[in-house]
Amino acid sequence: MSEELLEGEEQAKSPILKIILIVVGVLLLVTISVGATLFATGFFDSADKKDAEAAIAALEAAAAEQAAADEAAAAGPDKVQLDSPELTKFQQSYYQLEKELVVNIANSRKVMQASVAIMTHYDERVVDNVEKHTFPLRNAMLIVMSQQTDSSITHPDFRNNLAEELKIVMNAKLEELEDFGGIEAVYLTEFVVQ
């Protein structure tokens, strides 16, 4: 009877052992197949993970740049400040002739009186030449002024025209005497006709 009992117990243990072995085998098979699948798909490769992270970072940067460009386009064009051009300006020198010019108007009883000043962009040599040759310059200017008539005095641009004529005559006289004129403008600082 003891043998029968042993056989009954062995038979009873045997199905439990079989079930445990089957469950362990199935779990082992599932674990191996999941691991093999993950390995085959590259789950355990760190380089692919880094490449994926770099690709995501690059896409985010591109999206940020595009958003900034869109925002700038919506804001309108930027205002740009231009630099002013460098202009060459010459220093002016002025000189007032000491004595007034007084002359009779042609064919009239009227008298014209004017104070004359000059302007030059050149150095002091021009002013020195004007001072040096005051008498011939005064004579040339008096000749021009004495040729003026009553009708020319009433013209609206008379003073500008007279100043231009005086400049031409003064430069011509300086070129004759010193080989260089240099007077840029003549100004009538006081002007009276009586």
Q: What does the domain layout of the chain look like in residue ranges? A: 2-75, 93-193
Q: Which CATH superfamily is domain 93-193 in?
A: Band 7 domain (3.30.479.30)
Structure tokens at 175: 């070129």
pLDDT of 169: 96
pLDDT of 55: 85
What pTM does this model have?
A: 0.55
pLDDT of 84: 66
pLDDT of 41: 83
pLDDT of 2: 53
Task: Write b or e for each residue in 158-167: b if 16 or more Cβ atoms lie within 10 A of its Cβ, otherwise e.
Answer: beeebbebbb
- CA distances to 126, 128, 148, 171 from 132, in Å: 10, 6, 27, 14
**Could you tell me which of 168, 169, 160, 153 has the C-alpha nearest to residue 187?**
160
pLDDT of 7: 57
Mean per-residue pLDDT pooled into runs of 10, the chain (194 residues): 55 78 92 88 70 84 88 72 71 91 90 94 90 94 92 91 95 92 93 90
